[in-house]
Amino acid sequence: MKPIIVDTNIVFSALVNKNSSIASFLLEPQQTLLMPKFGFVELFKHKEKICKISKHSHDEVLEVLYELIRHIDFFDENTISVEALQESWELIKDIDPKDMLFIALTIEMDGLLWTGDNKLRSSLEAKGFNAFHRY
């Protein structure tokens, strides 16, 4: 089974609605779940927004975040090959450069990207990238 590279927006969605099917999938994964370490920083940057949208306290959001990240392996971006980084950059540079590490990790691990960003997905598909987790 290919590993699933989890985009930040998927975890964000699970944090906003901890009873969603996405949260359930993340809490009981049947496959390896990976995320670049940068993803954790991105989540932390949006913690206030997550609390506001979810109407959960900081403590509740942190509890759910802890449960979620227990099932996600955070990957050190420094170990991604130059080739995967270059290929990712060529795919993503005119779409959203912040997603480069997620694409690079997907390429590096021969995995499947799980994203809720439809613009990203359709733009990558138009360029021939089709390694997506279909949830």
pLDDT: is 113 or 96 the higher one?
A: 113
135 part of a folded domain: no
Instruction: Say yes or no to pLDDT of 59 above 80.
Output: yes
133 belongs to a structural domain:
no
Among 42-56, 99-113, 117-131, the minimum mean pLDDT is found in: 42-56
In a domain, 134, yes or no: no
Domain coverage including residue 15: 4-126
pLDDT at residue 89 above 80?
Answer: yes
Is residue 132 in some structural domain? Answer: no
Q: What is the DSSP string of 52-91?
A: HHHT--HHHHHHHHHHHHTTSEEE-GGGS-HHHHHHHHHH
Any domain includes 59: yes
Contact 72, 34 (CB under 8 A): yes
The CB density around residue 24, as the number of other CB atoms within 10 Å, is 12
For position 33, which CATH number holds?
3.40.50.1010
pTM confidence score: 0.90
Q: Would you call 64 exposed, middle or buried from its count of C-beta atoms within 10 A (0-12, 13-18, 19+)?
A: buried
Give me the chain's average pLDDT, please.
92
Across 6-20, average pLDDT: 91
What letter does residue 99 receive in the DSSP assignment? G
90 in any annotated domain:
yes
Cα–Cα dist 1/5, whole Å: 13
Residue 57 lies in a domain: yes
What total of structural domains would you count in the chain? 1
Structural domain includes residue 8:
yes
